[in-house]
Structure 1
Amino acid sequence: MSDVTLSEFVEATAVKFGIPGLAVGVLADGREVFACHGVTSVDNPQPVDSDTLFQLSSITKTYTATALMRLVAEGRVELDAPVRKYIPELVLADEDAAARITVANLLNHTAGLDWNLVVDTGDGDDALAEFVARLPELDMIAAPGDRASYSQAGYNLAGRIVEKVTGQSFEQAVAELVFAPVGLSHSFFDPREITARRFADGHNAEPDGSLTVARTWRPTRANNPGGGLASSAADQLRWARFQLGNGGAVLPAESLLAMRRPTVELRASSFGDAIGIGWFLRDIDGVRAIGHGGSGNGQFAELLIVPEHDFAIVVMSNAGPEGIACNQVVVRWALEHYLNVLDRDPEPLPYDATRAAELAGTYDIDAMTLTIAADATGLSLAVGIKPKIRAASDQELPPDYPAAAIGLLPGDRDEYVVTDGGLRGQLGYFSRDDNGRIVGIDLAGRLFQRIDA
């Protein structure tokens, strides 16, 4: 095991990946250790510390799920109840699905909803209600319960349930149900609260490698339930301690344990082996971990908890496209250094040009296009926001991910791993129809459907 300290490793890793600011917190043996490096912004540099606010993006989903589980424990929500019990006005592209989707389907991404709607319904207290009214525009990718597919829209709909049941705005309800009783003093949705404190800007790389500040700092208000929370490394370790504890005044211990139990299995997913309630579940070198990641415009966060060792690590970085890879390297180092647990990418097969030609094509979801290309040397994957979405948006959107090499994994399940670039280490798989034709690809838990054939 290396004699390098956490602070030394964090600094070296930030420099290696060109990350301006990196905040890391580790909970081990009952102690909290923080290692922070760099600055909040290349334009207005302030030192990053354990209280600096970063965008958590999709880690927010663990808070939304916990708030709903509190309402379940209080008898105000039923997990197996149809969503229409709480939102009777719900209309979707598929009427049968609208009638059948349950609260549990939203929390484990099995509702059959596509990833999200790229709409801005404003900053008012009606933002979520207006978002839900637009859901008939969202494609259905499967029948409820048929498969897991990561859906931001599903969590935004779950946030609307919180509003309807409590009679409060989503943000007020989560503050009362979760933030206050857990003791989270540096976790905010409100931009005014965030900008009154030290916060990290996201950064994106220019073609020459230089970094520029991402001008769009946070998602629209309707996306708060799925990804709008800003928080600090210190608060994230408080959150981890709560999840490892007995629930206190927030949740019965059994409810916390229920959130960690598998509800649906995942296939070839970097998220893990299964989804619980709000958490992704993984077996890493013989130990069970729960966690969630988040990606925003030039900001990336990762929270991993190992309950059997009362261990947790949070990593937050403020530059793309290398933020995901940087965070993964730090998490893996901490697992090995503190727990002697090794986490490694699987080894791909040698390149097979005939098999690759079957996979090459164009795939998309509502806002993004994914291109698989095959040549004499290998397969590559590129993903980016659709040009028409960029042209229609009045906000800055994250840059596209350039083409990166992928390799197929052993077996006959059409699974792959990304082997270089900002997405390296990401797992996924190709889908076939009943005739054996390739019709889709999963990346980051999202189903991109083939559109070129």
Structure 2
Amino acid sequence: MSYEELAAFVAATAQDQGIPGVAVGILADGRESRITHGVTSAEHPLPVDGRTLFHLASVSKTFTATALMRLAAQGRVDPAAPVRRYVPALRLADEEATARITVLQLLNHTAGLDWNLVDADEGDGSLEAFVAGLGRLPLVAPPGARASYSQAGYNLLGRVIENVTGLPFEKAVAELLLDPLGLHDTVFDLDDVVVRRFAVGHNPTADGTLAPARPWKSWRAGTRGNNPGGGVVSSVSDLLRWARFQLGDGEGLLPAGTLGRMRQPTVELRGSTLGDAFGICWFVRDVGGVRAVGHGGSGNGQFAELLLVPEHDFAVVSLANAGPGGYLFNQAVLKRALELYLGVTEREPEPLPHDEERAREVAGRYEIDAMNLDIVATEGRLTLAVEIKPEIRAASDAEMPPDHPAAAIGFLAGAEDEYVVTEGGLKGQRGFFSRAADGRITGVDLAGRLFPRGA
């Protein structure tokens, strides 16, 4: 009955969240099941099927990390080595940091790099051009000091792969992983997408109706320079095959145990819904007493989730083609699948009553290269809003996804300076506030990345 119950849940939740099309995959007891519902596009509808392509956004990082680990197994890359050994042209804002950052620190997001380059689309869009611009990227922490999720770090790993293999990143990943695993519907180039059935992303308009998201990929993932961190396009069927590989013994591509080591915690990730730690790429967390590893992705009106439970050889894939409800849909599907198939229940965090003094202390603007995060304290309420910086919107020719308007947050009991979002498109997201040695609030973490506090 688990399949039938989940299928009914998928259909009802997609309707509740106003999502045109979704695809869900389950790997359990060695068998693959697919649940597809709805259509590829609200304007030009075709039924979503098991081979319909969705933009995976940051789930792409699992492919980049695994390709890098295959090169490591071949003795061609040493994860402990400085990145400069493989990318001699690397120049960051801090020369000492440039010399110190290792490949492993890119893999587990401890290199100290900010999220991404604002002007990553300048130049010819190549990884070489992306790396040449990294001197403009701020550092949010010294290398190795803490985890902070970085798209730029994974794009830099793509350049490592290019330089080591002598191939364009996309071709290298195909030769290292996609071709030997038979992932024939996992691609990067839009020319390879348009000859297949694909999902169109959707975003709400001012009147609440859905409109096709343009560009098709995220506004920050439209060039080759962003492919390692967010450019993969795939289907629920290929992702189930990918999950089976990740739960296996390496299938001759990697030594037995390497994939398991990628799933082991390497650095703590505090107060995050995404996980308790980073492995090598993977978010690692305990859910109801079982260890789960996973990765999500948010594109332009498309959302993806891949979750593995290794001790049960179990995996869930969830893909949705509308925002902001696609994120909430995917989280609900993962939670329900764990309940139905494994009997695992994840408890929702309970916020404390509003504390006006604590609220005023954390209120302010926090920002990274492309986004502002505003925390506002009003009487009896503390809210969090996230926006793409207005100057970036104004300067861009591309349509961009809508901002996240102010939504209530609450502090959590027994966890100093940790909070949870209690409404809106980010409902359920957890994070925490950072303090300096003198106790001042200096930053806020959301979705695994640090937003430093503005002046």
The answer to whether the 8 A contact 1:67-1:174 is kept is: yes
Which residue pairs with 2:325 in the alignment?
322
Which residue pairs with 2:157 in the alignment?
158
| Cα 1:337/1:357, change in 2 over 3 Å | same
Which residue pairs with 2:73 in the alignment?
73
Pairs aligned (count): 451
Q: Does 1:367 align with 2:370?
A: yes
Which residue pairs with 2:191 in the alignment?
192
Cα distance in structure 1, aligned partners of 2:121 and 2:441: 36
Cα distance in structure 1, aligned partners of 2:3 and 2:249: 35
SS of 1:431 mapped into structure 2: strand
Q: Report the CA distance between 1:50 and its aligned residue.
A: 1.0
Q: Does 1:380 align with 2:383?
A: yes
CA deviation digits over 1:371-416, x for unaligned, max 9? 0011122111000100011111121111101111111001352000
Q: Which runs of 5+ in 1 are unaligned?
A: none
Which residue pairs with 1:95 in the alignment?
95
TM-score after normalising by structure 1 = 0.97
Which residue pairs with 2:438 in the alignment?
435
Cα distance in structure 1, aligned partners of 2:80 and 2:3: 50
Which residue pairs with 2:399 in the alignment?
396
Which residue pairs with 1:18 in the alignment?
18
Q: Which amino acid aligns with 2:278?
A: I
SS of 1:374 mapped into structure 2: strand
**1:66-145 alignment to 2 at 5 Å?**
66-121=66-121, 127-145=126-144
TM-score after normalising by structure 2 = 0.97
Q: Which amino acid aligns with 1:70?
A: R
**1:249-288 alignment to 2 at 5 Å?**
249-288=252-291
The answer to whether the 8 A contact 1:181-1:249 is kept is: no
CA deviation digits over 1:13-61, x for unaligned, max 9? 1001101111000011111111111111111111101110001000000
CA deviation digits over 1:79-135, x for unaligned, max 9? 0000000011110000000000000000000000000002244796x7000000000
Which residue pairs with 1:425 in the alignment?
428
The answer to whether the 8 A contact 1:182-1:250 is kept is: no
Q: Report the CA distance between 1:3 and its aligned residue.
A: 9.2
Which residue pairs with 2:417 in the alignment?
414
SS of 1:193 mapped into structure 2: helix
Q: Report the CA distance between 1:76 and its aligned residue.
A: 0.2
Q: Report the CA distance between 1:310 and its aligned residue.
A: 0.6
Which residue pairs with 1:299 in the alignment?
302
The answer to whether the 8 A contact 1:122-1:221 is kept is: no
The answer to whether the 8 A contact 1:121-1:130 is kept is: no
Q: Which amino acid aligns with 2:441?
A: I
Which residue pairs with 1:30 in the alignment?
30
Q: Which runs of 5+ in 2 are unaligned?
A: none
SS of 2:197 mapped into structure 1: coil
Cα distance in structure 1, aligned partners of 2:48 and 2:368: 36
SS of 2:179 mapped into structure 1: helix
| Cα 1:387/1:284, change in 2 over 3 Å | same
Q: Which amino acid aligns with 2:423?
A: D
Which residue pairs with 2:7 in the alignment?
7
CA deviation digits over 1:267-313, x for unaligned, max 9? 00111011111111110000001100000111100000000001000
Q: Which amino acid aligns with 1:107?
A: L
- More moved, 372-381 vs 3-12: 3-12
- Quick one: percent identity of the two aligned structures? 63
- More moved, 335-344 vs 113-122: 113-122
